[in-house]
Amino acid sequence: MSARDATKRPHIGGQAVIEGVMMRSPTHIATAVRNTDGEVVIKSEAYTSLTRRYRILNIPIIRGAVVLYETFVIAVKALSFSADQAIEKERKEKRKDKQESRSHIMISVLVALVLGFTFFFYIPLKLTEWIGLEGGFAFNLVDGLFRLMFIFCYILLLTRWKEMERIFEYHGAEHKTIFAYEEEGVVTPEIVSKYPTVHPRCSTSFLVLVVIVSIVLFIILGRPTSVADRIVRFSFIPVIGGVSYELLKVSAISTFKRFTAVLVWPGLFLQRFTTKEPSLEQIEVAIAAFKACLNDKVLDS
């Protein structure tokens, strides 16, 4: 594999988890975690996306919604594995405690989804209605600006939370590893460390795209004036996610980069808050997850 032949390489995605990194390739999912003994523990499994198994689900926009659902399920599993490893030493032989830990993660994720919907869709809508704007364009533009403001404030609050700092560092390690692979096809700690922590195909960039797409779509739908209008509006959230996913894919194509730069830039800006410079030890964890998700292919020479 040549260093610059990025078009022939499988697309890799990932995210930070508790004390580790989850990576996903077209054929495998892998989570690497540094446990309480300082060892890197890896969980790797073969995985074929629903969009590859069923052609009808690979239709643009629909596939975006499917990938989002899959990402959510995979992330919950990765968090569960990461949490188990983080407390393994103290909880050996205590199966009940592990089950409670998984239940706690599921409850936390569900609460996060409810809060996310409430703060990023429902409250901005109610605030805009309270202002009393009548025109559909102005109403939906202000509604979208409220959502952007809420996202930015949410991220700023996370940066104030000390426990999140290590997750942001692992987030940076994940991005740097993918960058090194895409640019050079080589992933060693020394090479990976020279790359930036921000990456255009990131969940942070995706969040911003969701807001931008929602503004455009909601302007088309007009100002909601009834409960039915609000239900229709919220039912379009999977469509918004699907369109945003397609835009994120297009933004990675060199031919369209100049046209999509304005859509990607806000996400790159916010990543300066959601990623931090990782240590070499954290980069090693990201590389371990990366190699495992490529089914143990050697990428260090």
57 assigned to some structural domain: yes
158 assigned to some structural domain: yes
1 assigned to some structural domain: no
d(CA 269, CA 108): 28
Burial class (CB in 10 A: 0-12, 13-18, 19+), 300: exposed
pTM of the model: 0.79
Query: How many residues are given for the chain?
Result: 301
18 assigned to some structural domain: yes
123 assigned to some structural domain: yes
pLDDT tens sequence for the chain (301 residues): 333 344 445 667 777 666 788 888 888 888 888 877 778 888 888 888 888 888 888 888 888 888 878 887 787 777 777 777 766 655 554 555 555 555 666 676 677 778 777 887 888 888 998 998 888 899 999 999 998 888 888 888 888 887 788 889 999 999 999 999 988 888 999 999 999 998 888 878 888 888 889 899 999 988 888 889 888 888 888 888 889 888 888 877 777 777 777 888 888 888 888 899 999 999 999 999 999 988 754 444 3
269 assigned to some structural domain: yes
Sheet with 13-17, edge to edge strand ranges:
13-17, 20-24, 28-34, 40-46
- Our count of domains for the chain comes to 1
* Residue range of the domain that includes 110: 6-293
Burial class (CB in 10 A: 0-12, 13-18, 19+), 37: exposed
300 assigned to some structural domain: no
301 assigned to some structural domain: no
